Amino acid sequence: MITKSIKEKPLEQMVISAQNGDTSVHNYLLKTYQPFIAKCVSEVCKRYINPKHDDEFSIGLSAFNEAIFSYSREKGSSFLPFAKLVIKRKVIDYIRSNQKVIKAVSLDENYDDVQMENPTEIRVAKEKYQENQNTVLLREEIAEFKEKLSEYKLSLTELTEVSPKHKDARESAIQTARVLYEDEELRQYVLEKKKLPIKNLTKKVEVSKKTLERNRKFILAIFIVLSEEFIYLKDYLKGVGQ
């Protein structure tokens, strides 16, 4: 049973209580934040989400539950923005892996499976639907990336201007970002200070201090991509700097 005193606790404290095995608080969070979960899922799917009937809501609820147990104050963000990110990433994963066409969304404004008897037309329409869906999800991810960049006092426009022009320099900066992310002490420093630990980083990579300072903003941006669940942006990094 949830008492008034528990309800008045800061959300982050309630999350910690749930992590420590308080099932009443855990169940309270899962029930109370269902509207929040539905809203997050709806933003990804671009349609109304019915908690009782839509599979996507179940994915979102499971993701919210996962967020409760994976949340850490040390990551530098409050719980709800963290949970929102986890929910959206899990729903995106679900949509991308689900081979069926989502019933609530028309494949195309002019065609559907009933109207088209030609298998080729059906396949093309499904491919067009998936392409459009990917565009929506990518736009959503870029919007979240821009929000994260602002926390580091960076912008997407600025990032375009300062990105290394040569392939070798770009790959070197990406590799530096990977080293930064994989080193727990350096990672925590960046998450807390929102800046590069230049002095300590020079001890970990074969890159001059001058080069690190020149590519500082780009390295931070790659670090953000590695730190978050940005599916599409991480595809860009696959095989680069490894």
More confident residue, 242 or 61: 61
205-219 average pLDDT score: 94
With 70 as the cut, is the pLDDT of residue 213 above it?
yes
Instruction: State the pLDDT at residue 81.
Output: 86
With 80 as the cut, is the pLDDT of residue 189 above it?
yes
CA distance 107 to 111: 7
What confidence tier does 216 reach under pLDDT thresholds 50, 70, 90? Answer: very high
Instruction: State the pLDDT at residue 112.
Output: 45
Cα 69 vs. chain centroid, distance in angstroms? 17
At 141, which amino acid appears? E
- At residue 203, the 3 state secondary structure works out as coil
Phi, psi dihedral angles at 106 (to 5 degrees): -65, 140
With 80 as the cut, is the pLDDT of residue 241 above it?
no
Average pLDDT value over all residues in the chain: 81
* Structure token digits, residue 205: 């990579």
CA distance 87 to 37: 7
More confident residue, 177 or 107: 177
Q: What is the pTM of this model?
A: 0.54
* Structure token digits, residue 191: 């998450």
Least confident of 53-67, 105-119, 227-241: 105-119
With 50 as the cut, is the pLDDT of residue 140 above it?
yes
Instruction: State the pLDDT at residue 232.
Output: 73
Instruction: State the pLDDT at residue 123.
Output: 57
> Where in the chain are the domains?
1-102, 156-237
In this structure, are residues 57 and 51 in contact, taking their beta carbons and an 8 Å threshold? Answer: yes
How much is the CA Rg of the chain, to the nearest whole Å?
21
Residue partners of 89: CB distance under 8 A and separation at least 6: 63, 229, 231
CATH class of the structural domain 1-102: mainly alpha
With 60 as the cut, is the pLDDT of residue 210 above it?
yes
Provide the percentage of residues in the chain whose pLDDT is more than 90: 45
Instruction: State the pLDDT at residue 196.
Output: 94
144-149 average pLDDT score: 88
